[in-house]
Amino acid sequence: MREYLLTLFVAAAVTYLLTGPVRKFAIAAGAMPPIRARDVHREPTPRLGGIAMFGGLSAGLLVAAHLSNIGDVFSVSNEPRALLSGAGLIWLLGVLDDKWGVDALIKLGVQMIAAGVMVLQGLTILWLPVPGIGPVALTPVQSTLLTVALVVITINAVNFVDGLDGLAAGMVCIASVAFFMYAYRMWYGYGVEAAAPATLFSAILIGMCLGFLPHNIHPARIFMGDSGSMLIGLVLSSCAISITGQVDPDAITSFTGSTRETVHFMVPVYMPLLLPLTMIAIPAADLVLAVVRRTWKGQSPFAADRGHLHHRLLEIGHSHSRAVLIMYFWCALFAFAAVAFSVNSSSLWIVLVIVALSAVGLVVLLLPRFKPAAPDWAESVVPPRYRRRRRRLAAGAAAAEREMRSPDHPALHGSTAIGDRPRLQDRRSDRRSERRGDRRSPVDTRN
């Protein structure tokens, strides 16, 4: 555990320290696109934050390669090199897109190439644990297609959810913590050596996100851009691929007692291939909804709009920070529920806790729909926004302002009586008074 924590802290420190210089470089390079109609920030903000995150990834892998225990991963497995190769390719694509913009189809093609590079180097899904049947081996073609599809879906799911300050980095960090807990349990709890790469990838990904979040929390000083969102999406998909398709179910059977129990034990890892990821179920759902919405309107599935889940949270009345926290909550609920079920899938308490937390999440989600107000006797101890007297005064002021702006209001005609028009001499006197700085009304200047 100490070596994993050291790797995590190194990745976080390098990412944090590099983000400041990268921000200055992005401003100097002009990587500050103008504000678009779908954006929620008000000032142009530099991108290219993925440069610092890639530095954290490289530093984490470099340090891990020289540690006594984790370093064995690099000698017995080619997955770290496969991850670094695919990450470098997708990161370079993101940097070009952040600076000059890249066509959506070209980005999709490069994402598939990056996934193919990882497959060629051994980071691929070899079999699937199917409940009730057992492990099902995949042919090379099936393995390649499924791996590429999972990588592309995860990359775009994270990219689509990157719409608010700190949202994508925080959600991926939560998913990474869940992945780390599960992979570490399989590696040290069941002695499954094939889970070591996924454990390492998860720890480094946590560090990358934690190092970048202080610069990206609202109001953000820098955005990760596509160079960062696609990068962390690829690393997250690598965790899922490594822990799902590389772990031999027979290695766990000796601990569980039967193949059926082994398959049920691995269901929380098998589920990510269907959702595609329970750990990022919210971004995945947002991705599916966005594709359906845009296709229904006759637009390209990659055409940007303001219909994402975080945009809708803002529209119903949530603040920027509250919308981000709500998305964090639901991401954590899905991710850690899967981990809890992997530990004890037959526990009724887990189901009850998940149901209770879901109810709390729904209440918080719909909170702007309600208008809670404290009674008169409690107004002195509650926040101002819950005080009825304050609301009545605010409503009265708003009504008076609307009345003053009404075209039928006598004050807009410059007279207190209907049909009483100011004379030419009065109007000249008014203009002279305004030039002298006199703010008296036209009624005060009349004889």
Binding residues for Mg(2+): 159, 226
In sign, the C-alpha dihedral spanning 83, 188, 128, 274 is negative
- Where b means 16+ CB within 10 Å and e means fewer, 59-84 reads bbbebbeebeebeebbeebbbbebbb
Distance CA 195, CA 91 (A): 25
For the annotated binding site, the residues are 159, 226
Distance CA 180, CA 100 (A): 36
Distance CA 323, CA 325 (A): 5
Distance CA 181, CA 305 (A): 35
Under DSSP, the state recorded for 347 is -
With 0-12 / 13-18 / 19 or more C-beta atoms within 10 angstroms meaning exposed / middle / buried, residue 207 is buried
In sign, the C-alpha dihedral spanning 280, 283, 289, 290 is negative
Element containing residue 136 per DSSP (H, E): strand 134-137
CB 290 within 8 A of CB 162: no
Structure tokens at 197: 């790469």
Distance CA 230, CA 234 (A): 6
Distance CA 181, CA 165 (A): 26
* Best CA proximity match to 169, nearest among 130, 124, 225: 225
Strand 127-130 with 134-137, pairing: antiparallel
Distances (CA, A) of 279 to 199, 265, 305, 332, 437: 15, 17, 25, 8, 65
- Could you give the count of Cα atoms lying within 13 Å of 77 in the half-sphere of its Cβ? 23
Measured between its terminal Cα atoms, the distance across the chain in Å is 89
Distance CA 95, CA 360 (A): 40
Structure tokens at 288: 């599916």
